[in-house]
Amino acid sequence: MIFYKFTSGTIIDYIMNTHVVIMAGGVGSRLWPVSTPSMPKQFIDLLGIGKTLIQMTVDRFRPVCDLERFWVVTSEAYVDIVKEQLPGIPQSHILAEPVPRNTAPCIAYACWKINAEFPDANIIVTPADALVINVQKFAAAIRKALNFTDGTHRIVTVGIEPSKPETGYGYIQAEERLPDEIVKVKEFKEKPDLKTAESYLAAGNYFWNAGLFVWSCKTIISELREHAPQIAGIMDSIAASFGTWKEEETLKELFPTCEKISIDYAVMEKSKDIHVIASDLGWSDLGSFSSIKEHIPMPHEDPVPDGGAAKAVDGGNKVIGKDIRLFGCEGCIVHAEDARKVVVSGLDGYIVAVRDGNALVCPISEEQKIKDYSAD
């Protein structure tokens, strides 16, 4: 058993060479019609609080990184949206993937770009579309991870204390359950069935995999060279064009030839120096309407930050929108922020979602089918 403990006096409160890479290329198809390929969930105010998910992500990391050291990797189609929603990020740090190739090429591209200017950087990689309620606790965990990886070959991933036997997430098995401490990772686990997820919860040393990583620039490049040489070789060829008139052309030619693989498969499951810091962070990937409903507070609970269009109403219903009227409804979520008026009567446990002239009415119990319902 190996674990590492730091006192507050040894945690680096501010690290000048920290960079944050935000992965923002997903399409959020499980949240149609609120999230669409032209405006996916990371660019939407899903919780009705006045900020989009990517804006909340940036705010979450401001305690450990200046805005000029943020990077966003996204689709070519979303570059202008990123510029509009995050005007403080340098335009040269908004990286457009010609095609989606999963997270390993996405992360590699950003890290090779950072390496060209800041080879001694410490890097945080995060999805753009997650929610974290316990932001101060989260910042403390990130500082601890940065301190642990700085100048070493170690990698830290952030684990989430599971609140239920969730079958929709991958898991991280730690060598021992030590909340808020850095512990060696024993194994990564695929999305389990319900019985397996229940056993993980009972064991106590399994954590949800949030897809959030901390490493040095040198470390991740070395790991990709060892475990994903095809991707590393392509990145070397693309990097030779950085800062020249050939850069965009070279990227469009070579990036699509990268192996389509996640960073978990490419590196994390193969590396020998992976650690996890796990905590109860109030985290959610907000990948379903039920998860959005869960994070709209009841009147007796603390409000979602900044207030806004979200609220709970009688009958355990949660609504987001300007003028939503429910009659005889129980346990529903209505998400209709851009609708003038929505009236719902007599539904029990339903999703009602409206956006840009499209509407969905679906039992919450059937929400896993929304991706299929909305397919063209």
Q: In the chain, what percentage of residues exceed pLDDT 90?
A: 79
Instruction: In whole angstroms, give the CA distance from residue 255 to residue 248.
Output: 10
Question: Worst-scoring range by mean pLDDT, 20-24, 56-60, 314-318?
Answer: 314-318
The residue to which tokens 């929603």 are assigned? 85
Provide mean pLDDT across the span 283-292.
92
Instruction: In whole angstroms, give the CA distance from residue 205 to residue 76.
Output: 40
Instruction: In whole angstroms, give the CA distance from residue 372 to residue 29.
Output: 9
Q: In the predicted model, what is the mean pLDDT of the chain?
A: 90
The CATH number of the domain covering residues in 3-284? 3.90.550.10
SS3 339: coil
Q: Is the pLDDT of residue 215 over 50?
A: yes
Residues 175-191: tens digit of each pLDDT: 998 888 999 999 999 99
DSSP 225-272: HHH-HHHHHHHHHHHTTTTSTTHHHHHHHHGGGS----HIIIIITT-S
Provide mean pLDDT across the span 126-144.
93
Q: What is the pLDDT of residue 308?
A: 57
Tell me phi and psi for residue 184, to 5 degrees.
-65, 140
Q: What is the pLDDT of residue 58?
A: 96
| pLDDT tier, 165 (very low <50, low <70, confident <90, very high otherwise) | very high
Please state whether the peptide bond connecting residue 33 to the residue before it is cis, i.e. omega within 30 degrees of 0. Answer: yes
Q: Which alpha helices (DSSP H) does the chain contain, by range?
A: 53-61, 79-85, 103-117, 135-149, 194-203, 217-227, 229-239, 247-254, 263, 289-294, 370-373
Instruction: In whole angstroms, give the CA distance from residue 230 to residue 209.
Output: 25
Q: What is the pLDDT of residue 376?
A: 66
Q: Is the pLDDT of residue 201 over 90?
A: yes
Provide mean pLDDT across the span 193-208.
95
DSSP 192-217: PPHHHHHHHHHHS-EEEEEEEEEEEH
For residue 182, the cross-strand partners are 4, 277
Check if the beta carbon of residue 144 is closer than 8 Å to that of residue 85.
no
| Residues 211, 213, 215: CA angle, nearest 5 degrees | 160
| pLDDT tier, 313 (very low <50, low <70, confident <90, very high otherwise) | confident
Delimit the domains of the chain by residue range.
3-284, 303-373
Which two tokens mark 252?
A: 């469009």
Provide mean pLDDT across the span 239-254.
96
Question: Worst-scoring range by mean pLDDT, 1-10, 82-91, 331-340?
Answer: 1-10
Provide mean pLDDT across the span 310-337.
92
Instruction: Put residue 56 in one of left, alpha, beta given phi > 0 → left and psi -120 to 50 → alpha.
Output: alpha
Instruction: In whole angstroms, give the CA distance from residue 281 to residue 135.
Output: 7
Q: What is the pLDDT of residue 312?
A: 81
